[in-house]
Amino acid sequence: MSWITLLMFVTIAVFALSKVLPVKGVKSITTEDLANDLSLKVKKQYIDVRSEVEYNDRHIPQFGNIPLHLLKQRVNELDKKKPVVIICHSGMRSIGAAKILKKLGFEQIENVSGGINAWRD
């Protein structure tokens, strides 16, 4: 294997891992943790970053919808000082949303592991 091929492989691997690894400073929570918070009416900002179509098909009532592609434009709807819980379909887009919010100065971010797929109504 040439050094160019090896370099390309390493670059692709690092890029792929950066998309799926947890974001530093973002707490990963289970759907059980989420259900507990919701039943106790814990004051957090609950955001579903799936598309409007996906959200309308099925969502958790306490979650508002801010699609990932609109998050930067609509971030002013969120309070940086309050905890934010993010959910998506499987947990991948919410990782992207967490990265965006972290860069924008949010400090209390929670990502729902497994997304809406893991949620049981």
Which pLDDT score is estimated for 100?
96
Per-residue pLDDT tens digits for 72-119: 999 999 999 999 999 999 989 999 999 999 999 999 999 999 999 999
Question: Residue 44: is its pLDDT beyond 70?
Answer: yes
Mean pLDDT on 45-55: 98
Identify the band that residue 25 occupies on the pLDDT scale cut at 50, 70 and 90: confident
Active site residues: 88
Residue located via tokens 């969120």 = 78
pLDDT at 16 over 60: no
Q: Kindly give, in sequence order, each residue whose CB lies less than 8 Å from that of residue 95, ignoring residues fewer than 6 positions away.
A: 19, 20, 22, 23, 26, 111
Structure-model confidence comparison of residues 22 and 70, the more confident one:
70
Instruction: Give CA–CA dist 71/32, Å, rounded.
Output: 26
pLDDT at 20: 52
Q: Mean pLDDT score of the chain, rounded to an integer?
A: 88
What top-level class would CATH report for the domain 22-118?
alpha beta
CB 78 within 8 A of CB 45: yes
Domain coordinates in residue numbering, the chain? 22-118
* Predicted pLDDT of residue 12: 61
